Amino acid sequence: MQHVLITGGSGFIGSHLCERFLSEGYAVTALDNLVTGQKENIKNVLKHPHFEFIEQDVCDPIDLRSWKNLKAHGLSGVLHFACPASPIDFEKIPFVILKVDSIGTMKTVDLAIEHKARYVLASTSEVYGDPLVHPQTEDYWGNVNPVGVRSCYDEAKRFSEAYVHTARLYSDLNSGIIRIFNTYGPRMRKDDGRVVPELCMQAIQGKTLTIHGDGSQTRSFCFVDDLVDGIYKMFQSKESGPFNLGNPNEFTVKEFAEKVVEYTGSKSKLSFIPARADDPKQRKPDITRVQTKLGWNAKVNLDQGLKKTIEFFNL
Ligand SMILES: NC(=O)c1ccc[n+]([C@@H]2O[C@H](COP(=O)([O-])OP(=O)(O)OC[C@H]3O[C@@H](n4cnc5c(N)ncnc54)[C@H](O)[C@@H]3O)[C@@H](O)[C@H]2O)c1
């Protein structure tokens, strides 16, 4: 049996990844300090015989001796997904973000090198900043403000990419970098401030939907099942990436808000508040590279995905 470590395993994306790897016959260790994740997210797998949860900060010393899956199966994969990812977190816990994307990345890379394990880094479309190239291709270097309110996240992820890339070049790390574009679905925190939960919860609660800016900024929303499928394919390959993973169907935030109102059956109105600083004006992945190299495509359209997500928020 093969064993993978998923950092951030009780977060939104990490918890779906744990389930996918278990269902593919892997043993899984989820390491998480619950700074933004919740144990509730992994309640379906906590009692699984090949699942282990380690509650700790990935930046702290890691004592591998007690890990039962490691003892039994060694370590064939590390997926580094620990990192707060919401704009609210950029203001509240910026140093946590900078640390997990620097020290956390270095520690997990060392672990992968030591065990000759495949390493997948969760990077982000934010490495493109407020992009001047549209749609974004992987060879675009980005337009990032290094001293802005989002820089703790954007630049930290750029450092992570550089570290992983360098370890591949000089330390034989079998690595793959994925750049995730706005992903949504069940288990997002209802209050995490990202556009999908924020607008859905406002509509469900009958409140006015507040749109930052004039709503003409665009986003491309990828359903979590599609994303997890792309991550799994990346893990199984030897590709280094970076690969954009996202759904290329692009919507303005205003169009998205109107869909939310329609699918929740809400009578809420839209209102427009000042834009967030350095908020990207447009966001759409060019996924030609991942289509060609991994045969991956986003399959779930926004209508299908949004209905499932609203069902979850309604629980
Ligand atoms: N959801 C998206 O649209 C999106 C887009 C781009 C990139 N990403 C990346 O995907 C990854 C997962 O994001 P998510 O949306 O699931 O966010 P999330 O906040 O739900 O998950 C992050 C998890 O990491 C854990 N964590 C954070 N710092 C930690 C530390 N120092 N030690 C141990 N655990 C720690 C949190 O407790 C949480 O469970 C992140 O790396 C994020 O940057 C997500």
Using one digit for the tens of pLDDT, what is the confidence trace for 26-53? 999 999 999 999 999 999 999 999 999 9
The pLDDT of residue 214 is above 90:
yes
| Closest approach atom of ligand 1 to CA 180 | 6
**Cα separations in angstroms, 295 against 20, 122, 234:** 18, 19, 10
Residue 69: strand pairing partners: none
CATH of 3-184+222-249+285-299, one of 3.30.2020.30, 3.40.50.720, 3.40.1550.20, 3.40.190.80: 3.40.50.720
The ranges assigned to domains in the chain are 3-184+222-249+285-299
153 is catalytic: yes
Task: Give yes or no for residue 221 CB within 6 A of ligand 1.
Answer: no
pLDDT on residue 254: 95
pLDDT on residue 51: 98
Integer Cα distance of 85 and 93 in angstroms = 10
How close is the Cα of 312 to the center of ligand 1, in Å?
A: 19
Would you call 292 exposed, middle or buried from its count of C-beta atoms within 10 A (0-12, 13-18, 19+)? exposed
How close is the Cα of 121 to the center of ligand 1, in Å?
A: 11
Task: Give yes or no for residue 247 CB within 6 A of ligand 1.
Answer: no
How close is the Cα of 32 to the center of ligand 1, in Å?
A: 10
Task: Give yes or no for residue 88 CB within 6 A of ligand 1.
Answer: no
279/284: higher pLDDT: 284
Query: Per the residue annotation, which of 128, 153, 163, 232 is the catalytic one?
Result: 153
Mean pLDDT, the chain, rounded, equals: 96
Signed CA dihedral, 150, 155, 160, 161: sign only: positive
pLDDT on residue 276: 85
How close is the Cα of 108 to the center of ligand 1, in Å?
A: 15
Look at ligand 1, atom 34, and give the residue with the nearest C-alpha.
32
Band of residue 279 on the pLDDT scale cut at 50, 70, 90: confident
Closest CA to 225 of 28, 6, 13, 78: 13
pLDDT on residue 315: 82
Task: Give yes or no for residue 244 CB within 6 A of ligand 1.
Answer: no
Q: Which amino acid is at 175?
A: S
Q: Which amino acid is at 143?
A: N
Band of residue 280 on the pLDDT scale cut at 50, 70, 90: confident
- Whether residue 199 contacts residue 257, with contact meaning beta carbons closer than 8 Å, is answered with yes
Give the dihedral of Cα atoms 23, 28, 34, 38; nearest 10 deg: 20
Its pTM stands at 0.96
pLDDT on residue 145: 94
Task: Give yes or no for residue 228 CB within 6 A of ligand 1.
Answer: no
Task: Give yes or no for residue 13 CB within 6 A of ligand 1.
Answer: yes
pLDDT on residue 72: 96
pLDDT on residue 176: 98
